[in-house]
Structures are given as C-alpha cells and as structure tokens.
Amino acid sequence: MIKELTDKEKTLMASRMSQVQQPQISVDALKNATNMQCECGGMIFQQGLIIKKISAILSPTGEEIEVPIQVIFCKDCGLILPDTDKEGIIPAKIKSKKFVSPKIKLS
C-alpha cells in the first residue's frame, strides 16, 4: 500500500522544487546572457519528474511512499542536467555529463 505524503514531506518536496525556479531577472540581463546547451548540442530543455519509491523500512512514516523529484532534461537527448541533482540521487546513466556555453565562431 502506498501512503500519501505527509505535510512535512510535502513541504520538503516543495522546498526542493523551488530551488529550480528562476529568480526575477531584468530584460537587459537576459539580452546579454549566454544560451546554454547540453553535451549533445541541444538548447531546449523541459521540466519533468522522477518518482522515487521509498521502502517502509527507510520511510520516516514507516510506510512505503513515492516521492517526486523535479528535474530539467534536454529535449533532444533526454539526459538530465547535472545541476538539478546536487544531492546525487539520480542515476548517472540518465544524467548529462556536462552543461556548456556554445562556442561562438568569429568570422
């Protein structure tokens, strides 16, 4: 049986999800910002969720729970950006190894 998240667990999850949100940035700063790209060259990203199942033995409630983890992934290759997993809980095989600024060719 899977139990619904407690208020404390919901608060923890909301705190984690808010870490990915952008702060208020001026239009001028955005105009001068560098576009980032995935190691595959993709420059369009999407938000998604990975669901982790915590066993009753490890769960703080003593019951099995499912916890959603918000991630940002490359639309082209599907790999997750490494900056969205600072705790190291997402398997390496589905994470991009690098997130880079595209090289600008000067003529």
Write the secondary structure of 76-93 as one string of H (helix), E (strand) and C (coil): CCCCECHHHCCCCCCCHH
Count Cα atoms within 13 angstroms, Cβ side, for 43.
Answer: 6
CB 86: neighbour CB atoms within 10 A? Answer: 9
pTM for this one? Answer: 0.60
C-alpha dihedral sign at 84, 87, 90, 96: positive
- What is the pLDDT at residue 88? 82
pLDDT per position as a tens digit, 1-54? 455 666 776 666 666 655 555 678 888 887 888 888 888 888 899 998 888 899
Q: Which candidate, 64, 66, 65, places its Cα nearest to that of 50?
A: 66
- What is the pLDDT at residue 103? 57
Confidence of residue 71 (pLDDT cuts 50, 70, 90): confident
Top pLDDT among 14 and 58 is at 58
Q: Where are the domains of the chain?
A: 7-21+40-97
